[in-house]
Structure formats: C-alpha cells, structure tokens
Chain A
C-alpha cells in the first residue's frame, strides 16, 4: 500500500468541488438540490441533499468509470492489496452475488459451507448453479456454527472435481475463521476459484494481530462490507478482484443487476472511509481490539455470561478467531440470547446487533467509546442480578447432510404444493427449514426429504429448537415440488 497516495480521496474531492460550483441542474434527481422537497432538506440537511446528484462528466459514472471513480477504485484496490476493486452500491449482497455469477453458470457446481449467507443462495437461483455443501462444524455447547475443516473441503473437491469455485466465510458473524490459506491453495490446485465472503472482515486488512484476509491468502474475489467495520454508509460495499480474474468480465456481471444511478452519498462515503482505513486503520482497530478485550474481561467477571474469544481456536473448525467480535453466551443465566437482546433494548436502551437462542452479539467498532462498554457491562450485570433463571437443558442440533436433487433455481420456479409433513418423504423440498441453534439449514429448496430428516426435525422441535422458514409456522406442513 502506497501511504502517500492513500492520502488522496479523488471522488470525495470531486464531489466537494462540484458542491462549490453552483451548477444549474437540468438533470435528475428532480428534487434539484432539495429545492423541490423542503421536508427532505429538513430531514437530511442541505449538505446531504445538495450532493445527491446524478452521474455527470465531473463526477464520473459507476457503470463505466474513466476518471474520479476509476481513481478511487484504484486507490481502494491498492489499500486492500487487490488487483482491482469495484465500489458497490447494492450492499455486500450484490458483491456476493457478483462473485457467484462470475464464477459459475447454469449447471455448474460451487462448493460452499452450509451456513452460507442468503445472498449466495439467491445468486444460485439467479444463475442456476448447483451447490455442494460442506458441514460447518458446530459447537453444541455454545450453539454456534464453526468453520470448514480441511478434510471436509478435500472430500468435497475429490467428489466434485468439476466444481468451478469454493466459497468461504471469513470471518463468520461469530468471529470464526477457517484455514483460509490452505482452502484457497486447495481450490487453485484443483482449478477452482476461491471466493471469500468477507462481509464481517473489512478490518482484517488494516488492523494488527487479526486473522488473515482473503487477498493475502491469494483468493480470487472477496466481498467486503465497508459499511460494517469500515465506517462507510449503510449499503455501500466493495468487491475485490485478485490476479486470476478478468475485471472486464466482472464489470459486465456487476452491471447486470447494479443501478445505473449510483448514489454519490454512498460512493463518497466509500472514498472517505477507504482513506481513513488506509491512514488510520491500524490505530483505530487497535483501539477496537482493546475495547473488545476489556469488554470480554469485564463481562466474563459476571456470573453466568461467557464472552468467548481466542480460547476457542482448535487448529481446524476454529482455525482463527476475530477478537473484535464480542459474542456473549447467555445460557449460564438461564436466558436465551433473544431474551437478553430484548431486555437490553427495552429496559436498558441498548441495541445489540443480534440475539439467537444462546448468544447475543455486540458489534464493537471504530465509533465506540469506553463509556458505552461500561454501560453494556453494567446492564449485563444488572440483568444477571434481576432476571437470572435456573439453567435448563440446552439442545443444539447437529449437521444433517443434504441431498440436492434440483438446483435452487429449478426449485424456485417449479410448481409446488403444500403437504402434511409426514407425507412428504421422498419429495423434493420447495422451501428452507432453518434450525436454531445453531442456525444452519436442515432443508433448502431442491433437497430431498428423507425419513431421517423428518425424525430429526421432530426431535429438535421436542428439545426446544426453533424452526424457521416454512410458511406453516409449527411445521405441520411443508411445501414440496409437484
């Protein structure tokens, strides 16, 4: 990374200079710097609406960048150590979908962990590729999915030598990392692309002492949620491209679904955030790590809460751990993570990122201060004092190996019917059945329903797991392909 060069923010500069020019707008958007929508100006402020403008010569065009956006993308590529970077305005969802659509076509296979993000499955519906799932191991005590083990990746490759790509989550929502470097190398040795969903990993490129990032591992593409740990506006994202990929083709793919009227608020925020990360990222994420470590220490002093960390690392299913992820296991006070999430919100005015059956996740970032950490620790302490219950049995579902009979695309478009669940054995499922914990699908559209799976659903339900996805809430019926 060229630090001197990273001090520039060409797109941000161009927007600021445009603001001063007082150009008369006879182009869209129709609010014309807010004059046509006074309430919008009152709501967002004039500084915001006056730069809500359309692509024009001075500000370049995201569909085919030739000037300031091109320079901003080159700087982003340099900052992330990539061959090329695409600024994205459709969220990391669009970045993940662009990776899948670049790597495979209808009927081609892609290897992915079973707990892959919905955006990747939706991409398969769009392109007609066939998923090959890998068992993400499960920590049944904590109730969370872990990472992919190398042996499972090797097995999937051996059984599917024709697969076009492997997708990897790095890190997961819970901070879990797989052995990225080895998986990328395995992919390349077998002529497959390595695609990395780094929605929760922007900081891995800039902080110190954090797990390896995708570009360092030699991945072909990576989807980066700049708006999560990177500090840019919600919905802005970056798609990174490595050496083995033709960015011209990727650009065609991106433009299939991306808007032709990209927001300069989002693009400008990406340019500013990239500069901040490049110049101050090391220091900022050092603070984030310190805060998360302090929070973990303080929370682990409270009886009944367990904020897990690097001690989970086991060399395989937890190859590495992202210490900025503050996940707190709540089973020890006899409450579910969802209950603690609700208590924090309703009684303590604290909004958590996420609550599942056994954990709550606090997102710690460059915007946090130690005072807020004290509030969280204080509130958890008070919750333990006031709301603790005897700890009951805790059951966490394990992995069920799916049998894919139809592609997600075929299943999506096929005519379907609703049947009582007991008479669906041997049929192809038309909807998803997720089981919490650990939040891994038992069935996905296109997979065959077996008696083993029905037994499994019954047992998991009896043991208190929550089933989500099917239209029939108590899962007495399932949608199947006709």
Chain B
C-alpha cells in the first residue's frame, strides 16, 4: 500500500502535449486577488509550493536555485552595489539573498499584489524573512509605474517576474527594458527571468525577450540553471548591463571572501552557467542578428 491514502495530484500543462504532476498532501490555501489566483499546496517531493493561475511559481525545495542565481551572479560582477530594485519578488527570497551583502544600502521591492506577499509571509517564512531586513522598502505598486519615476537611481535591478503572458506581461516588454535602462546608474546591471527555451511555445517568448533586451543594453548575456518544476526543467536568466561583462568583470576571489553559504551557486558554476547548449546559442544569435 502506498504511503498516501488517496491519489491527490496537482497538474500543470507545460505545453498542450506535456503535463507535469506533483503529488499533493494538502491544499493549504486558495484565493483570487485583483491580479491572480493564488494557491498553496503541500507535497511530499517539493514541500510547500505556490501557484499563480495554476502555474508553479516556486517550491520550498528548489527556490534556492533561482533566488541564488538571480542575486549572486550580478553581485559577483558589479564591484559596488549600493541600491537595488527588485520588481516582483514579493515572496522575499531575492531580498533574503541580497541581505547577505553588507555594502547594500537600499533594497526597494515593487510588488503590485499585497495578497501574494501576505500569503508568502504566512506559508513561506523562510523566504519572507528577507522582507524583514531593515534595508528593504516594500512598495505595493506596478513595476512599470514604479520605474517610470526613476532616473539614474539604482546599481542593480532584479526582475523576478516569471510569466510573460500573465498579469506581469508588462515586465517583458521593450518599455520595461527601456525604463530599467533609464533607472540604472551608468554602470548598472539588470537581471531577469528569461524563461525556458526548450518547448516551441516557450521558445518564442524567450526569443522576443532577447530581441528586446539586446536592443536596450550594450552588454546582454544569457545564463542557465536547472529548475525541476519549470517547463522542461531548464531555465534561463538574462544579464543586461550598461558596462560590466558577466565573465570579464567577474571577481571570484572577492566573492569567496564574503563566505556566503549557498546550495546552488558557486564561483565555478558562475562561469559555467554562461556556457550554453548549441541550440540556445543559435537561437540567441539569430535574434541578435535580426536587429
């Protein structure tokens, strides 16, 4: 007999022809905000996980991957980050990783959905602890709106939004990249979730993002990570920068000296993450040449 008394599964369509299923112990929460339907489940394999409109946003067992990758990669490149803006990121995971860095003076978070923050505070305290850092200022505001008023203000912008088709669609557009460019200092960096390149449906979004970012920033590189619950388990990040190159300006020694404890990121992995499969390289090149 199975350890589970009943067959209770969360399913997510990754394409029309591919489906992921996670066995669920309990459905802990469900409500609909002005922006999205939010659900929280408890599962044997991934621990608690949160979904938005039926898509997994993060799980306890794997959130360290993208929170570390989206924070430590730019932080190990930029020599002196004082002001950071996080777009989305209301769960607090990104802020938690940022809080390891003493030189940071301000962590602004623009998250439109208060319900999302409240749910994370209640069910994911290990992430939400990041929001408690004294340097964090949380704004319940649309990311694009927040950015419009910012000029030459940040060293680093982290776009934590994941879904280019949902309520965060505005954060995957040319106007978003342009407004980020304007909000950054002359040596600023923006990193963002670049989606998964594998399935045809996701590939087009991935291409469009790269096309827009390449036009907006002089340095634009893509790096990768393995994230089990995302479509095909393979995920990309974008590194868009006005000055610093993610490998040439990378300072592993300085980062090692900080002694930050990680589960995914290492300085070896930093370099490796920018070495992409041929099909991804080709896809990105095609979009660069299309300009």
Contact = CB atoms under 8 A, between A and B. Distances in A.
Interface of A: 298, 301-302, 347-349, 370-371, 374-375, 377-379, 381-382, 385-386
Given A371-B142, A374-B142, A382-B178, A348 B148 contact: no
A124 to B, nearest CB: 45
Interface in B159-191: 167, 169-170, 173-176, 178-179, 182
A105 to B, nearest CB: 54
A374 B174 contact: no
B182 A378 contact: no
Interface in B116-172: 142, 144-145, 147-148, 167, 169-170
Given A298-B145, A348-B174, A370-B142, A378 B179 contact: yes
Contacts of B148: 298, 301-302, 377-378, 381
A371 B174 contact: no
10 contacts: A348-B174, A371-B142, A371-B167, A374-B142, A374-B170, A378-B173, A381-B178, A381-B179, A382-B179, A385-B182
B169 A381 contact: no
Nearest to B177: A382
A371 B163 CA distance: 14
A386 B173 CA distance: 15
Interface of B: 142, 144-145, 147-148, 167, 169-170, 173-176, 178-179, 182
Contacts of B176: 378
**9 tightest CB-CB pairs across the interface, nearest first?**
A382-B178, A378-B175, A379-B175, A378-B144, A374-B144, A375-B170, A382-B175, A374-B142, A374-B145
B174 A379 contact: yes
A349 B176 CA distance: 12
Interface of B (DSSP majority class)? helix
A302 to B, nearest CB: 8
A375 B182 contact: no
B240 to A, nearest CB: 15
A348 B179 CA distance: 12
Contacts of B144: 374-375, 377-378
B136 to A, nearest CB: 23
Nearest to A343: B174
A386 B217 CA distance: 13
A375 B175 contact: yes
Interface of A (DSSP majority class)? helix
Given A349-B173, A381-B148, 15 more contacts: A301-B148, A348-B173, A370-B142, A371-B167, A371-B170, A374-B170, A375-B169, A377-B148, A378-B175, A378-B178, A379-B173, A381-B178, A381-B179, A382-B175, A382-B182
B174 A382 contact: yes
Nearest to A385: B182
Contacts of B142: 370-371, 374
A360 to B, nearest CB: 15
Nearest to A382: B178
Contacts of B169: 371, 375
Contacts of B175: 348, 375, 378-379, 381-382
A364 to B, nearest CB: 16
Contacts of A371: 142, 167, 169-170
A284 B116 CA distance: 26
A298 B167 CA distance: 20
A346 to B, nearest CB: 10
Contacts of A298: 145, 148
A377 B145 contact: yes
B170 A347 contact: no
Contacts of B182: 381-382, 385
A362 to B, nearest CB: 14
A150 B4 CA distance: 81
Nearest to A380: B175
Nearest to B215: A347
Given A382-B179, A385-B182, A386-B178, A375 B145 contact: no
B179 A347 contact: no
A375 B182 CA distance: 16
Contacts of B170: 371, 374-375, 378
Nearest to A376: B175
Nearest to B151: A385
Contacts of A377: 144-145, 148
A382 B179 CA distance: 6
Query: Which of A371, A378, A381: most chain B Cβ within 10 A?
Result: A378
A109 B16 CA distance: 62
A377 B170 CA distance: 11
Contacts of A370: 142
B178 A375 contact: no
B173 A375 contact: yes
